[in-house]
Amino acid sequence: MFLVLKTTGMVLLTILAGICLSGAMYFWTDKEGFKHFSNISPPKNSPVQLLDEKKRVIPKGHEFKVVKIFDGDTIRVAGFGLQFTIRLVGIDTPEIGRNGAKDQPYGQQAKQKLALLINQKSISLKQYGTGGYNRVLAEVFVGATNVNLEMVRSGFAQVYRGNRPNQFNAKPYLQAEQQARRFQEGIWGQGDAYKSPRQWRREHPAK
């Protein structure tokens, strides 16, 4: 588990809704001034404090605020005095080019669609642990609306084809994708020209 504290002096009890933490934890500050609280070893040469945390469960039901939308499937949220990055679990959206690289078709549109669904709204999270780059994997909800699923329904995301968490139910997502394909919604309107985000990443590696 990897979390970022927004300011110094935050109480370490306030971690994430419904997550159990146990064992050795590390606490350090990165170059941007963010405070990190993690059970993953920090980067080399980082001043670090080792904390022996007792097992804790944070009450469910806390809502979070979206503070940044990186692309169609990655956001940063704030809550409990923390800021951390969420990877929308179970979906994959077209890539937005970094460092001057070319955007994948529908990359910006997917980001805009996600913004319409969540920007300036309180969200809740159903979490599935952490994934690559220490991002929290989660289904994002605005009220009763499953935002991850809505991204697939609208044709701005496909179902993630890599390893998914065991607890994650992909069935409604696969059904939604099939429907979006049938009606050529969003990305599926490209027909044979469509490339999955995974294929696009292989063909356009980060510089």
Measured torsion, CA atoms of residues 186, 187, 193, 194, in degrees rounded to the nearest 10? -160
Please report where in the chains the tokens 């490339």 appear, as a residue: 195
Residues 58, 39 contacting (CB under 8 angstroms): no
Q: Which of 95, 139, 150, 177 is catalytic?
A: 95
Three-state DSSP string of 140-192:
EEECCEEHHHHHHHCCCCEECCCCCCCCCCCHHHHHHHHHHHHCCCHHHHHHH
Q: Which of 135, 139, 153, 177 is catalytic?
A: 135
- CB count within 10 Å of CB 137 equals 21
Q: Which of 56, 76, 87, 201 is catalytic?
A: 87
Rounded Cα distance between 48 and 28, Å, is 5
Q: Let me know if 87 is a catalytic residue.
A: yes
Q: Let me know if 135 is a catalytic residue.
A: yes
- The residues, ordered by sequence, that sit 6+ positions from 58 with a Cβ below 8 Å of its Cβ are 13, 14, 15, 16, 17, 18, 19, 80
110: Cα within 13 Å, side-chain hemisphere: 31
Active site residues: 87, 95, 135
